[in-house]
């Protein structure tokens, strides 16, 4: 059965630097086009950790130079990363589709994601970004309105909030492109974080978890399946221990119980499982799959991966 899928690419699908990314997207494009060739409608989302870090570092270096270039707001850094990741990804997808005689337009959509200005995450920014600063530099940056924290004796770094996504501004555009048979790359890096102020959208100093944003998008475009790609084929409990257990099917209730029992690491599998649960419980019949990119089609067929559903 053909499905409407939101495919959330992990960081390993994009590589680290510019040259590595251009190579990585070729392999990634082949796996995505495999799904399209099977008849599925695919919307592609992706992370931007190394890329947005590189953009931050470049502008931090420029700010310290004689040019006195200002440090860019986080929302602008995410927008820049969406553009240049999308450029590589859409070209790789277009080429792979044409190589298989599939005529299907591919486009990257600069996507804004609404967050709540009153989200508790803004009171406790925890996501470190950019390079290290001296105490004196950090003091000046604090006066300029940046949140700075000392990082394990290595210096001071900027930290930003990671609020939950509550709406996708361009969701109707994503839906229209899908209905027109196009492949859309959207919600890059979790989306550009914005706060709604009347008719104005104000960029927020934040980063949004791309799996949570992908789950929200999947819910809003009425996808059948959310596929969250990671470095392991299945989700495990008691990971790395003698009683390690790999999971194929996971009910929402069991997933929530395992979350409460602390089976999933905060910085890696926890947000993926939480986002998968949020999508699966948003409407009966919806499924979330967590697996590796190369096994995505086998996961859809129920042959591998971890499926979370009612």
Which residues form the catalytic set?
11-12, 127, 210, 272
Residues 6 or more apart in contact with residue 26 via CB below 8 angstroms: 92, 96
How far is the C-alpha of 258 from the C-alpha of 242, rounded, in Å?
17
Q: Residue 216 corresponds to which tokens in the numbers above? A: 């929200």
Q: Residue 290 corresponds to which tokens in the numbers above? A: 């967590």
Residues 6 or more apart in contact with residue 212 via CB below 8 angstroms: 164, 165, 190, 271, 274, 275, 278
Query: Quick one: which of 9, 172, 158, 168 has its CA closest to 85?
Result: 9
- Check the CA dihedral 179-180-186-191 and report its sign: negative
List C-alpha distances in Å: 113 to 48, 80, 193: 15, 15, 5
Query: What is the per-residue burial (b if ≥16 Cβ within 10 Å, else e) of 244-280?
Result: eeebeebebeebeebeeeebbeeeebebbbbbbbbbb
Q: Contact 42/102 with Cβ under 8 angstroms? A: no
List C-alpha distances in Å: 201 to 46, 149, 172, 189, 195: 23, 28, 17, 18, 6
Q: Where are the beta strands (DSSP E) in 98-217?
A: 106-108, 112-115, 127-133, 148-150, 156-160, 165-168, 183-185, 192-197, 200-203
Categorise residue 153: left if φ over 0, alpha if ψ from -120 to 50, beta otherwise: left
Q: Contact 248/237 with Cβ under 8 angstroms? A: no
């Amino acid at each position: 059965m053909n499905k409407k899928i939101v495919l959330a690419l992990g960081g390993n699908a994009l590589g680290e630097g510019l040259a590595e990314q251009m190579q990585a997207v070729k392999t990634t494009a082949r796996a995505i086009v495999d799904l399209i060739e099977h008849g599925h409608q695919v919307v592609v989302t992706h992370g931007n950790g190394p890329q947005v870090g590189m953009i931050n570092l470049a502008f931090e270096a420029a700010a310290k130079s004689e040019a006195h270039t200002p440090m860019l707001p986080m929302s602008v850094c995410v927008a820049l990363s969406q553009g240049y990741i999308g450029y590589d990804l859409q070209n790789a997808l277009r080429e792979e589709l044409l190589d298989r005689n599939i005529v299907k337009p591919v486009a990257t959509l600069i996507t804004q994601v609404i967050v709540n200005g009153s989200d508790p995450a803004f009171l406790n920014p925890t996501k470190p970004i950019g390079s290290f600063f001296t105490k004196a530099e950090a003091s000046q940056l604090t006066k300029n309105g940046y949140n700075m924290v000392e990082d394990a004796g290595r210096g001071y770094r900027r930290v930003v909030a990671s609020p939950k996504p509550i709406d996708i501004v361009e969701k109707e555009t994503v839906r229209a492109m899908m209905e027109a048979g196009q492949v859309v790359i959207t919600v890059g890096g979790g989306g550009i974080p914005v706060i709604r102020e009347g008719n104005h959208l104000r960029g927020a100093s934040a980063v949004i978890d791309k799996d949570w944003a992908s789950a929200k998008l999947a819910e809003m475009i009425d996808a059948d399946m959310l596929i969250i790609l990671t470095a392991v084929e299945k989700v495990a409990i008691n990971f790395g221990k003698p009683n390690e257990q790999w999971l194929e099917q996971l009910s929402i209730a069991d997933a929530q119980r395992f979350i409460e029992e602390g089976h999933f690491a905060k910085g890696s599998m926890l947000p993926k499982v939480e986002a998968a649960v949020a999508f699966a419980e948003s409407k009966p019949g919806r499924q979330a799959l967590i697996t590796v990119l190369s096994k995505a089609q086998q996961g859809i067929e129920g042959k591998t991966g971890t499926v979370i559903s009612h």
